[in-house]
């Protein structure tokens, strides 16, 4: 009599169907459920990380742009002075380099946080140079990689639960395994 009641119970059938569906999703998702749980459990933290990465990337890009504009203006002024016969020693602007070093220091902490959550995946030509050697090339590649990571986090947070679960592999999984 109890088995007949359970067999005819619609709630039991729906529950079994849901459990089967979730099991298939977890199996098909190749372990993405861990990433989903991590993403949705720490969504505000990931949003903050994305905003920090984007802010630092924009700061680096703005500093490089301002530095290039000042250098162009300085070279233009020196050329005009030499053309007129005024011979002054060359001046160098070091303020931009200090700001760039400061932003590179900030980027290092953001990069460490991105590595912890698995979103740090720069291209193979990326080279993070130390704070003292914040060259334009290193700063530019850092800025691009930070902006890319920020956009990846933003896109992943916009994806729905089922979209992430049913993905065969996450992009950052492939890149981290390829380096190992």
Residue 119 pLDDT: 80
CA–chain centroid gap for 16, Å, is 39
Domain membership flag for residue 13: no
DSSP state of 52: H
Q: Which domain covers residue 158, as residue numbers?
A: 31-179
pTM of the entire predicted model: 0.60
- 131 has pLDDT over 50: no
Domain membership flag for residue 50: yes
Number of domains in the chain: 1
Between 66 and 1, residue with greater pLDDT: 66
- 174 has pLDDT over 60: no
Q: Which residues contact 22 (CB under 8 A, 6 or more apart)?
A: none
Domain membership flag for residue 2: no
Helix, strand, coil share of the chain (percent; to 5): 75, 0, 25
Question: Tens digit of pLDDT for each residue in 161-170?
Answer: 655 555 555 5
Domain membership flag for residue 128: yes
Domain membership flag for residue 9: no
Domain membership flag for residue 139: yes
């Amino acid at each position: 009599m109890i088995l007949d009641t359970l067999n005819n119970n619609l709630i039991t059938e729906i529950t079994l169907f849901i459990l089967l569906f979730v099991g298939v999703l977890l199996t098909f998702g190749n372990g993405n459920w861990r990433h989903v749980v991590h993403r949705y459990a720490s969504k505000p933290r990931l949003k903050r990380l994305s905003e920090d990465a984007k802010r630092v990337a924009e700061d680096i890009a703005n500093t490089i742009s301002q530095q290039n504009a000042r250098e162009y203006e300085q070279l233009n002024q020196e050329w005009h002075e030499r053309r007129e016969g005024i011979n002054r020693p060359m001046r160098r602007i070091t303020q931009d380099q200090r700001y760039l070093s400061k932003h590179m220091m900030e980027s290092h902490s953001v990069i460490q946080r991105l590595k912890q959550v698995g979103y740090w995946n720069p291209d193979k030509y990326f080279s993070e140079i130390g704070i003292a050697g914040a060259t334009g090339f290193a700063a530019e590649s850092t800025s691009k990689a930070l902006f890319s990571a920020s956009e990846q986090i933003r896109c992943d947070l916009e994806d729905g639960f089922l979209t992430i679960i049913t993905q065969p592999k996450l992009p950052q999984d492939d890149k981290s395994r390829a380096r190992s």
